[in-house]
């Protein structure tokens, strides 16, 4: 029980420290190049991937959905611990739980505790209040890894003559924890979910059953 709780606590601390630092030192859109393939690029996600569900009504729905999902993941994690499941599976689910919870903290509370940061660096607990209400906060993203940059040939359908970047998505530490947890489950699913041996009936048992009938 201690290991998954410690892992969750550690991920949440690292995630929030990074996010708070970025929000209080960067303006949205500002970036800092650590290496050509590793850039800190401050962005805020108003919905989920590709800005889906970015309206106000959808924002509340998305935040509530995240909360319900985290409750479900938490229940499943407790079930795995109580049933003494494979330690690797427990830690993988703990990674997913911590990552999901880390992003919920942003969407639930960041709007209330931070000022707007589109033209100025955000401040914590501003006198005039935050930039949004409860469950209307934006998730902070910052990690950008443009590992490969190139140009599509003109003959490529749909993307011909366009620039491409791999990996173009910008994400945060919580997203990384979720991705690692999912990948571990996929790669080690046979070990995490071993098949129970099928019950076999010997010829002697069948014979005794018939005679007894």
How many C-beta atoms lie closer than 10 Å to residue 182's C-beta? 15
Q: What stretches of the chain adopt beta strand conformation (E)?
A: 31-35, 38-45, 139-144, 148-151, 163-166, 170-171
The rounded radius of gyration (Å) of the Cα atoms in the chain is 24
Active site residue 141: yes
Output the CA–CA distances (angstroms, integers) from residue 84 to 65, 80, 87, 106, 192, in the order listed: 28, 6, 8, 32, 11
Q: Which of 15, 106, 117, 175 is catalytic?
A: 175
Question: Distance (Å, rounded) from C-alpha 206 to C-alpha 110?
Answer: 67
Active site residue 15: no
Q: Which of 15, 106, 117, 141 is catalytic?
A: 141
Contact 107, 62 (CB under 8 A): yes
What is the pairing mode between strands 31-35 and 38-45? antiparallel
Give the CA angle between residues 64, 138, 149 to the nearest 5°: 120
Catalytic residues, which ones? 141, 175
């Amino acid at each position: 029980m201690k290991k998954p709780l410690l892992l969750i606590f550690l991920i949440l601390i690292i995630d929030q420290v990074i996010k708070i630092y970025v929000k209080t030192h960067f303006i949205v859109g500002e970036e800092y190049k650590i290496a050509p393939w590793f850039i800190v690029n401050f962005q805020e996600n108003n919905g989920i991937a590709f800005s889906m569900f970015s309206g106000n009504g959808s924002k509340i729905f998305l935040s509530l959905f995240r909360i319900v999902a985290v409750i479900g993941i938490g229940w499943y994690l407790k079930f795995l611990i109580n049933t003494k499941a494979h330690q690797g599976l427990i830690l993988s689910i703990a990674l997913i739980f911590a990552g999901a919870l880390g992003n919920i903290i942003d969407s639930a509370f960041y709007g209330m505790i931070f000022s707007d940061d589109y033209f100025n660096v955000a401040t914590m607990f501003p006198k005039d209040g935050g930039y949004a209400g409860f469950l209307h906060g934006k998730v902070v993203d910052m990690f950008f890894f443009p590992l490969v940059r190139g140009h599509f040939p003109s003959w490529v359908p749909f993307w011909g003559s366009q620039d491409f970047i791999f990996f173009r998505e910008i994400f945060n530490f919580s997203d990384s924890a979720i991705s690692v947890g999912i990948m571990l489950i996929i790669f080690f699913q046979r070990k995490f979910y071993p098949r129970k041996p099928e019950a076999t009936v010997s010829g002697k048992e069948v014979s005794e059953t018939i005679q007894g009938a």
